[in-house]
């Protein structure tokens, strides 16, 4: 199958394949849409089962970044990259891989800006910036985006509870958090402070122990998280956890999480709508990190601005929920339409120039 026939290909502007014999680099960069600004999105390292799995992931993720930036009101387009490798390689070996990847990104001349993602870190961004001008989410710039991502998820949960239950607080609300890494940990902190009851799962026992010690969470086995008797299911690990197998197990009436591409297929959004489960579209919910990190691209970062834009995710969610209810339409479809409208309207809109020359 060629790229143009791939089911996840959505008129992507550019799909580039990189290889480096010396380091074993095998990477794909996908730029979905640059109507609003340069394509921007994280670099993911994952040991994919197949090349097709990697291509599917980068095509879906890059489109999600276009929609995420559009609904967050950012002057950025959508891009993403994946490196097919084991992220737990020795540090020296990983540094060489990241440098090789960054040199390839440099050849794109700013059409794509890379940042950290699953399998990469702020430290990896520091390594990449030694070889490439087009890196954001920098250690000495906007820094770790995780706290802003978590805050956006928390604001989305507040919106869901307000819309679904008519409540302005989360006291006593039961939340099942799947994945308590950086974002999940910060999210649990917000939820604990708000009086929510936490049920958590992760493959990292140390991460679980920290959440239990700090926030009194209850540990749940990975396969049992879907059937938890909770109000909110919060997928904060990898995507595609909402599928034919998991949806029938759900007792939660709201789904609000940080993971990308939570719906295994779009039809699963239709199933959630039919079951009256309120789904907060993932690329709306998790935009806080991108909002914060985008300051590195245009060189005009303000923490106060990033926080204000992140808090506005609450209003965006309410708008989506209300229109979905009014029109009896799945929330993901409403979010997609809003994002596509901004992408079209922004094609001739003036944009600020990136901090680094093109």
Catalytic residues: 80
DSSP 8-state assignment for residue 140: T
DSSP 8-state assignment for residue 306: H
DSSP 8-state assignment for residue 322: H
Residue 326 gets the label, from left (phi > 0), alpha (psi -120 to 50) or beta, of alpha
Angstrom distance (rounded) from CA 323 to CA 305? 27
Burial of 112: CB neighbours in 10 Å, binned 0-12, 13-18, 19+: buried
216-222-227-232 Cα dihedral, nearest 10 degrees = 50
Query: Taking Cα atoms as reference points, which of 141, 144, 74, 102 lies closest to residue 296?
Result: 141
Q: Are 96 and 23 in contact (CB under 8 A)?
A: yes
Query: How many secondary structure helices (H) and strands (E) does the chain include?
Result: 13, 11
Contacts with 86 (C-beta within 8 Å, 6 or more apart), sequence order: 45, 47
């Amino acid at each position: 199958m060629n790229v143009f026939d791939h089911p996840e290909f959505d008129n992507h502007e550019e799909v580039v394949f990189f290889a480096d014999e010396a380091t074993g680099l095998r990477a794909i960069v996908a730029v979905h849409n640059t109507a609003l600004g340069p394509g921007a999105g994280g670099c993911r390292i994952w040991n994919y089962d197949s090349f097709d799995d990697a291509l599917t992931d980068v095509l879906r993720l890059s489109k999600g970044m276009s929609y995420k930036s559009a609904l967050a009101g950012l002057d950025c387009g959508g891009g993403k990259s994946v490196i097919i490798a084991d992220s737990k390689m020795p540090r020296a070996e990983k540094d060489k891989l990241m440098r090789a990847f960054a040199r390839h990104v440099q050849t794109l001349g700013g059409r794509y800006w890379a940042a950290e993602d699953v399998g990469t870190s702020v430290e990896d961004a520091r390594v990449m910036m030694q070889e490439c001008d087009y890196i954001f989410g920098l250690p000495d710039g906007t820094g770790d985006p995780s706290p802003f991502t978590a805050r956006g998820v928390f604001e989305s949960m507040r919106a869901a509870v307000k819309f679904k239950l008519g409540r302005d607080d989360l006291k006593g609300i039961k939340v099942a958090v799947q994945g308590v890494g950086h974002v999940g940990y910060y999210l649990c902190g917000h939820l604990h402070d708000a009086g929510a009851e936490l049920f958590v799962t992760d493959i990292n026992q140390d991460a679980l122990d920290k959440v239990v010690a700090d926030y009194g969470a209850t540990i749940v086995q990975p396969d049992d998280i879907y059937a938890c008797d909770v109000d909110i299911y919060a997928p904060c690990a990898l995507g595609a956890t909402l599928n034919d197998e998991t949806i029938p197990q759900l007792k939660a009436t709201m789904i609000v999480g940080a993971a990308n591409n939570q719906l295994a297929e779009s039809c699963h959004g239709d199933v959630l709508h039919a079951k009256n489960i309120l789904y907060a579209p993932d690329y709306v919910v998790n935009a806080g990190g991108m909002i914060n990190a985008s300051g590195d691209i245009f060189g005009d970062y303000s923490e106060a601005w990033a926080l204000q834009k992140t808090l506005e995710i609450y209003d965006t969610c309410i708008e989506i929920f209300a229109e979905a209810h009014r029109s009896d339409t799945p929330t993901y479809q409403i979010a997609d339409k809003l994002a596509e409208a901004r992408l079209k309207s922004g094609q001739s809109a003036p944009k600020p120039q990136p901090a680094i020359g093109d």
